[in-house]
A and B are shown apart, each in its own frame.
Chain A
Amino acid sequence: MTAIEHRTEELRGRLLVVEDDLVQRTIIGSIGAKLGYDTMIASTFEIASQMLRDEKFDMMTLDLSLGERDGVELLRLIAALKLNAMPIVIVSGCEERVRNTIKRVAAALNLSLTTSLAKPLNIDKLRAALKRPALLSAAAGSQAQAPTISRDRIVAALRQKEFLVELQPKIDLRTNEICGAEALARWLTPEFGMVSPAIFVPLVEEFGLMSELTHAVCDAAVATSRGLIQQRPDFTVAVNVSASDLNDLTLPERIEGILRTYQVAPEALIVEVTESIAMSDVDRAMDVVSRLRLKGMGAAIDDFGTGFSSLSALAKLPFSELKIDRSFAGTCANDKDMMKIVEASIALAKAFGMKVVGEGVDNQPTLSALRAAGCDIGQGYLFAPALGIRQFSHLMKQWDPRAAGRFPAFRPPSRTTSLAYG
């Protein structure tokens, strides 16, 4: 173990350099010290793990090959020590595919992997990585304590119509126009404020109230977007259904009933079924999806790529739209493997005559990559998060197709209630 003191006025805290190669660690240590870090160097897995246990660091660089041991073992240890917030810069001579897989390992462990640098080191990139710990992976969000919610409370919420929807726009990537929205369930309570679907959906499942919730959310989605559909007859609104909804073979009739109540054409509604649900019972999915389509509604296979689709099942299910999961679409711009999956998914969808939606369009490179791959529709924070109907209408009015995606086209006004966007 070696220590190098910072050599600047500006202090950046403590940097741990885990690197078994003498030359590389000397370079990284020297750059770190020049940037204002007190730098500690660990040349082996054992020294590094001891230092991580005993001391605190503000930044870490990690070589993936550490003699007999490897960097992935160290990533697991970092997760076990709950050092999820410490920015990690990977420095490795491994090929790009291996480095990309390790990025995914770090993301799965919820670690703050900021950059992955190839060897030989580009000193400019190293400096930039040590300077700006801008997180690539979703930072570990603070998990709010779930309030205790009884079955009766949810029954009352359904009766009092406390469930509502927010709309996230879907953008036609050919014209840059808003072509529709996905309706996302929200629960606004007097006592807890806005409750995240991550909290209430599992409870609703547990209490056996899923079909009631789906009904309430579909009703809210159609009621909320009715005005938009009247103005723009080609506008579509998408709703999500759960596994238990597919057990109810009357689902198509129930949704049709809602559409009739609000006098909305069935073509304006898309029912989203996740890939894993559709594939878990293909026969039921065939029954429900084909009847939704016969009634004129659209049907989308959601989170595509995360489940295990059998190609023959996919051929049997008459989906009209395929939504590529954000874990592929959102990372395809800087991950060649993901790009291949996206391209293959698009080719598959086109072969079956489906429209393709890319989820997780959060930045310009992702948008460009999806557009170049032939994706029809995009959805993501680059365009807008899920919005309440007033904000959404405002967005529609001031939408400029020439600006969409070139910069954040819309910044929602700050809100007082904290809200977990789904």
Chain B
Amino acid sequence: MTQTFSFDEAVFRELGSELGADDLADLLNVFLADTAKKLIRIEIEDQARAVIKREAHSMKSSAATFGFRVLSQTARQLEAGAESMSQPDLQASISELRQAFEATRAFADRNLLCDASGAVA
């Protein structure tokens, strides 16, 4: 089973030092909510491949901004293959992305959001 979560804390801290703890917590919430919506769009049955590609592209960048490595890499793979993958491969890639997101959300809830100021101090 592939790794579902990896976190680059230095990247997260740097973002926090630029934005401040409050803005960072707000932004993280925005990210989690927005990414959840994007995933739902990606998971719609027979979703257009161009839409999947665009959402994955955007998820790749945003996840990297926070230091969520696996989520960013999984999104990148989906973006790269969105137009060429076979249907089963595409489904596998999407469910991998779902797992990576759930792991990220669980980690964020546990470690980053309850005490965002502590996490970035």
Residues of A that sit less than 8 Å from B by CB: 20-24, 26-27, 30-31, 34, 65, 67, 93, 119-121, 123-124, 127
Contacts and interface: CB of A to CB of B under 8 A. Distances in A.
Interface size class of B (residues with CB under 8 A): 10 to 19
23 contacts: A21-B62, A22-B34, A23-B30, A23-B34, A23-B62, A24-B61, A26-B26, A27-B19, A30-B19, A34-B18, A34-B19, A65-B54, A65-B57, A67-B54, A93-B58, A119-B65, A120-B61, A120-B62, A120-B64, A120-B65, A121-B61, A123-B15, A123-B18
A7 to B, nearest CB: 10
Interface string B44-66: 00000000001001101110110
Interface in B1-43: 14-15, 18-19, 23, 26-27, 30-31, 34
Provide the main secondary structure of the chain B interface.
helix
Contacts of A20: 58
A124 B15 CA distance: 10
B27 A26 contact: yes
Contacts of A123: 14-15, 18
A23 B18 contact: no
B60 A93 contact: yes
Contact of B30 (A26, A31, A67, A127): A26
Given A23-B31, A67-B54, A127 B64 contact: no
A61 to B, nearest CB: 14
A93 B15 contact: no
A124 B19 CA distance: 11
Closest 9 CB pairs of A and B: A120-B64, A119-B61, A23-B62, A123-B18, A22-B34, A120-B65, A21-B58, A23-B31, A93-B61
Nearest to A67: B54
A21 B61 contact: yes
**In the complex, which of the residues A22, A23, A65, A119 has the most CB atoms of chain B within 10 Å of its own CB atom?**
A23
B108 to A, nearest CB: 13
A286 B54 CA distance: 54
Contacts of A119: 61, 64-65
A34 B23 CA distance: 11
A4 to B, nearest CB: 11
Contacts of B58: 20-21, 24, 93
A65 B31 CA distance: 19
Nearest to B58: A21
A65 B58 CA distance: 10
A293 B27 CA distance: 69
B61 A127 contact: no
A22 B58 CA distance: 9
A93 B50 CA distance: 16
Nearest to B32: A23
Contacts of B61: 21, 24, 93, 119-121
A23 B23 CA distance: 12
**In the complex, which of the residues A26, A65, A127 has the most CB atoms of chain B within 10 Å of its own CB atom?**
A26
A10 B36 CA distance: 37
A116 to B, nearest CB: 15
A67 B50 CA distance: 10
A27 B54 contact: no
A33 to B, nearest CB: 9
Contacts of B18: 31, 34, 123-124, 127
Contacts of B19: 27, 30-31, 34
Nearest to A19: B58
Contacts of B64: 119-120
Nearest to B50: A68
Given A123-B15, A123-B18, 9 more contacts: A23-B30, A23-B31, A24-B61, A34-B18, A93-B57, A93-B60, A120-B61, A120-B65, A124-B18
Contacts of B72: 120
Contacts of A127: 18
A19 to B, nearest CB: 10
A30 B23 contact: yes
A27 to B, nearest CB: 7
Contacts of B60: 93
Contacts of B30: 22-23, 26
Nearest to A91: B61
A12 B54 CA distance: 33
A21 B34 CA distance: 9
Contacts of A120: 61-62, 64-65, 72
Contact of B62 (A24, A30, A65): A24
A124 B34 CA distance: 24
A20 B51 CA distance: 14
A243 to B, nearest CB: 49
Nearest to A119: B61
B19 to A, nearest CB: 6
Contacts of B27: 23, 26-27, 30
Contacts of A34: 18-19
